[in-house]
Chain A
Amino acid sequence: AQKITQTQPGMFVQEKEAVTLDCTYDTSDPSYGLFWYKQPSSGEMIFLIYQGSYDQQNATEGRYSLNFQKARKSANLVISASQLGDSAMYFCAMREGQDNDMRFGAGTRLTVKP
Chain B
Amino acid sequence: ETGVTQTPRHLVMGMTNKKSLKCEQHLGHNAMYWYKQSAKKPLELMFVYSLEERVENNSVPSRFSPECPNSSHLFLHLHTLQPEDSALYLCASSQDGGGGRGTQYFGPGTRLTVL
Task: Name A residues whose Cβ lies closer than 8 Å to a Cβ of B.
Answer: 4, 33, 35, 37, 42-47, 50, 52, 91, 93, 95, 98, 100-107
Contacts and interface: CB of A to CB of B under 8 A. Distances in A.
B43 interface: yes
A104 B42 contact: yes
Which of B90, B103, B108, B111 counts the most A-chain CB atoms under 10 A from its CB?
A: B103
Contacts of A46: 106
Given A100-B31, A100-B55, A43 B48 contact: no
B6 to A, nearest CB: 9
A42 B107 CA distance: 11
Contacts of A47: 103-106
Q: Is the interface of A mostly helix, strand, loop or mixed?
A: strand
A33 B103 CA distance: 9
B109 interface: yes
B45 A102 contact: yes
Given A33-B101, A101-B48, A102-B104, A43 B88 contact: yes
B88 A105 contact: no
A100 B50 contact: yes
13 contacts: A33-B102, A35-B104, A43-B108, A45-B90, A45-B106, A45-B109, A47-B105, A50-B101, A50-B103, A100-B31, A100-B33, A103-B42, A104-B43
B37 to A, nearest CB: 8
A42 B50 CA distance: 28
